[in-house]
Structure formats: structure tokens, C-alpha cells
Amino acid sequence: MPKILIAEDELDILELITFTLQFGGYKVISTSNGEDALEMTRKEQPDLVLLDVRMPRMSGYKVCTNLKASRDTHHIPVVFLSAKGQEAEIKTGFDTGAIDYILKPFAPDHLLKRLEEILASEAVKSGF
């Protein structure tokens, strides 16, 4: 069962994503700030990190940058799930090393489908 870390400061949305992912069959760990997300990713080594951009203590961009900069975590795919929809913001997200940028509001089934695709392609990459 793939493990996904969710970092989301809006608790309603955190619960929505958690529910959706659990429904999709994933093991979910979550946090509501950037610093914890960074720390937990190192410790827990999830299969995928789903990041909000605007979070307390550390922005999603910075978390991703740090994850990609660290040998322990740079292999873990990062997907942004953000309400920030401007071109420049999306571009920044990809620039930090994210594999996808999903715009809020999202359709739960579309999110599941997308994550499934990403994890499948990651599995091909890592030789499973």
C-alpha cells in the first residue's frame, strides 16, 4: 500500500484529500505546515508528497526545493495541489522540482487518477 504525505493547512481540505486518498487505497500521513512536511518526509520516506503552496512556517516551494536538494528525499515525487493558479506560480512549482501541479478546486476522481499515473510511472523508473 503506497504511502502518501499530505501537507495542507486548510483542515477542511486536508480532511477531503485524506478521505479521497484513503478511499483510493493509499496510506496517508499528513501535516499542516511546511517544516513538519520536510521533517516527516525524511523520517517516513513516503512514496509521494502532495504539497500545498501557501503554508505556515515554510512554503510548499521551499519544502520541495529542500526535498530535491537532499539525497535522502530527492527521489520522492512531489505534486503541488494549490489554489495559486497564475502562470508564474505554476512555473515556480515545476522549477522547484515538482512532477505535477494540480489546481484547486480539484475533482477527487481526477486527483486519484493522476496520482495513480504518477506512481505507476515512478514504479517503472525505479525498476518494479
- Kindly write out the interface string for residues 19-48 of this chain, putting x where it contacts other proteins by CB under 8 A and - elsewhere: xx--x-------------------------
Question: CA 37, 42, 48, 54: dihedral to nearest 10 degrees?
Answer: 20
CB closer to other proteins, 16 vs 68: 16
Helix (H) or strand (E) holding 108: helix 108-125
Q: Does 100 sit near other proteins (CB under 8 A)?
A: no
Q: Of the candidates 35, 28, 125, 37, which has an alpha carbon nearest to the alpha carbon of residue 75? A: 125
| 85 part of the interface to other proteins, by CB under 8 A | yes
Min dist CB 54 to other proteins, Å, is 7
| Cα 64 to Cα 38: distance, rounded to the nearest angstrom | 8
Judged by CB under 8 A, does residue 126 bind other proteins? no
Residues binding other proteins: what is the number (CB under 8 A)? Answer: 22
102 belongs to the binding site for other proteins (CB under 8 A): no
DSSP tag of 16: H
Residue 13 vs 119, nearer CB to other proteins: 13
Question: Is 13 an interacting residue with respect to other proteins (CB under 8 A)?
Answer: yes
What letter represents residue 114's amino acid? R
How many angstroms separate the CA atoms of 79 and 52, rounded?
Answer: 9
